[in-house]
Amino acid sequence: MSRYEVNSLLYRLKKDPEFRARFVTDPEAALAGADLTEAERAAFIARDMRKVNELGGYLHLVMSIPGLAAH
Amino acid sequence: MGRIVFGGAMSHVLDPDYYERACGSVGRQKVEAAMAEIARMGERCSARNPDALIVVADDHLNAFSFNAVPAICVRIGRYVQRMAQDHAEAFDKVLDHMPERYPLHEALANRILEVGLESGFDLALSWEAPVDHAFLSPVNTMHGTRPIPPLVPIWVNCFVAPQPTARRCFAFGRHIARVVAASPWSVGIIATGGLSHFPELSLPRVGETDTVFDRKLIHWMEEGEHEPLLELTVGELHKSGEHEFLNWMVLLGAVTPARADVRYFGELPRINLAAVEWRL
């Protein structure tokens, strides 16, 4: 199964517009409290959704986060 | 005595703009052709005046997220809401123009749930879960401006491992058939999603499909040979991008041994589009 933290974060980015805005403005600060590995954190900060998917992020989430979606 | 009066299955991102962006003009052409056939299926369904329309589909981590992911969930209550998504992208954008609220067939949903639990199906229930494009894109394409019958939305967990087996989904479909037969209602049932797309749910493989696998499934459905389908493993479905065929397995259980007629099949790099109707 995919890692919970990665997908929980993806879900929050999709469904919580305020959190998404904070992430877009300052991703490192937005992720400060998240329980991520260094590789996961780096992938999110780089907005590398291909890497996030490779690390266990569900495809339908990485393809549908407003403004951040991979296509 | 109740009866299933319509059975159909179809792809569920029915949006020419989406396919134009993903696959160019051929994408638009093919999804418009599929939608035309699905609209005709809807006309035939409406002509049989169903009291309810059961929609078997999957959640795309919209309704259930990670607080709970039910293997099979029956939506109960009197109404269901369309999923809300700000600045919707991709397949979520399909919902933008659709009505926001849909009446449910509360009594049929309750029977499927209650009799199911009595007979060994440990079903989940929801009063609040909204429905996404997997439900509403086919339902609205089928009905256009005609009234939509009261719905019974049923979710199958197609994506979050571990999923229910193909055999279990088929058995649940048999349960639905028994509930309908013991009821006073005429019922339509559709399953949505597929066919092959997004193998292994891997972003680098978006754009690949497994047409050989699709044609194998279609052959068995056309012939009414459902036994081989019971043997499908979740691993096979994952590798071939047939995750959503679990929804179709529920429908097959409800209509077996009926044979299927393919109304549309079109290959696209992103997804193989399909519309199939059963002879009832």
B172 close to B236: Cβ distance less than 8 angstroms: no
Q: How confident is the model at residue A1 (pLDDT cuts 50, 70, 90)?
A: very low
* Best to test chain B binding among A63, A65, A68 (most B CBs inside 10 Å): A63
Q: Which amino acid is it at A10?
A: L
pTM for the structure as a whole: 0.96
Q: What is the mean pLDDT of residues B245-267?
A: 98
Instruction: Tell me the pLDDT tens digit for each residue of B170-180.
Output: 999 999 999 99
Q: What is the mean pLDDT of residues A55-68?
A: 93
Tell whether B66 is within 8 A of chain A (Cβ): yes
How many other CB atoms are there within 10 angstroms of residue B192's CB atom?
26
- At residue B66, the pLDDT reads 81
Token pair, residue B47, equals 């002509």
Instruction: Tell me the pLDDT tens digit for each residue of B134-148.
Output: 999 999 999 999 999
Is there a contact between A71 and B90 if contact means CB atoms under 8 Å apart? Answer: yes
Rounded-to-integer distance, Cα A40 and Cα A57, Å: 10
Name the average pLDDT for chain B.
96
- Name the minimum distance, in Å, from the CA of B92 to any CA of chain A: 7
Q: How confident is the model at residue B187 (pLDDT cuts 50, 70, 90)?
A: very high
Is there a contact between B203 and A49 if contact means CB atoms under 8 Å apart? Answer: yes
Which 3 state secondary structure label does DSSP give A6? helix
Tell whether B208 is within 8 A of chain A (Cβ): no
CA A19, A21, A23, A25 torsion-angle sign? negative
Is there a contact between A69 and B89 if contact means CB atoms under 8 Å apart? Answer: yes
- Enter the ipTM: 0.90
Residue A2, pLDDT > 60, answer no
- At residue A26, the pLDDT reads 96
Which of A17, A50, A69 comes nearest B90 by C-beta? A69
Segment holding B273, helix H or strand E: strand B273-278
Q: Which residues from chain A sit within 8 angstroms of residue B204, using beta carbons?
A: 50
- At residue B91, the pLDDT reads 87
For A:40-69, CB contacts with B below 8 A are: 49-50, 53-54, 58-67, 69
Which residues, including other chains, have CB under 8 Å from residue A20's CB and lie 6 or more apart?
Answer: A13, A14, A65, A66, A67, A68
Residue B32, pLDDT > 60, answer yes
Cα distances (Å, whole numbers) of residue B182 to B127, B131, B141, B151: 24, 28, 30, 19
What's chain A's length in residues? 71
